[in-house]
Structure 1
Amino acid sequence: MAEKFSRWDAVDHLATEATRKAYLNACLEEDPGDGSLVRAALGDIARARGMSKLARDTGISREGLYRALSAEGNPEFATVMRVIRALGLHLHAA
């Protein structure tokens, strides 16, 4: 019998606010300095919460959000902050 594998997706593990916060914090700590992990984390959290709702809350189109938070994306800091606020998250300096 052949084994069946499914693709692992972080979204499947981001059901609670606590897990989303922990995930973003881990990505902030491990980001190599180019924002790639933070961008990926925000994209995963956005998909877990619902990209359509986030689009309404930020005033940015779904397509624009997918583009900005993709691996090739290069969102402006203002866009990142709008997304973070709309997701109910906060950035803190220590």
Structure 2
Amino acid sequence: MTIRTRSHEDSVLQMLRDDEAFALEYLSVALEEIDEDGGEDSFLVAIRRVAEARGGLLNLSQNTGLNRANLYRSLAVGGDPKLSTILKVLQALGVGMSKVVSHRAEEEACA
């Protein structure tokens, strides 16, 4: 009998695509760690992974009107996007910055 398996990466991408709560938690944790060494890069890469899971950067570029090459540079290690870019990207991904920030606060209130 053959057991079909998927890579960890494929599983994470599927959860980021299909599970809104998981995507919010993923981004919230990355945002919570933004002040640590490498935290900014981790947050940008987390946004990029959600974008990749939800149609890719070409699709994101078309939905936001932002240049695709600039998105690749901005949402990478060492990227330095404007706040307006981050807000536009998160909005296009259907999560929005306020959801990312409030998600963590809601979880802490329930604990």
* Count of residue pairs the alignment pairs up: 89
Q: Deviation at 1:8?
A: 5.2
Bigger Rg over Cα: 2
Structure 2 residue runs without a partner (length 5+): 1-6, 106-111
CA deviations 1:2-45 (Å, max 9, x no partner) are: xxxxx853535423222211100111112235522211111111
**What pairs up with 1:4-43 in 2 under 5 angstroms?**
9=9, 10-16=12-18, 17-32=20-35, 35-43=40-48
Q: Deviation at 1:70?
A: 0.7
In structure 2, relative to structure 1, the CA distance for the partners of 1:8 and 1:72 (3 Å cut) is: farther
Q: Tell me which protein shows more helix as a share of its residues.
A: 2
Identical-pair percentage:
33
Instruction: Tell which has more relative contact order, 1 or 2 (C-alpha 8 A, sep 6+).
Output: 2
**What pairs up with 1:1-94 in 2 under 5 angstroms?**
9=9, 10-16=12-18, 17-32=20-35, 35-50=40-55, 51-92=57-98
Structure 1 residue runs without a partner (length 5+): 1-6
**Once superposed, what is the RMSD of the aligned Cα atoms?**
2.2
Give SS of 1:46's match.
helix
Give SS of 1:75's match.
coil
Normalised to the residue count of structure 1, the TM-score between the two structures is: 0.77
Q: Deviation at 1:47?
A: 0.7
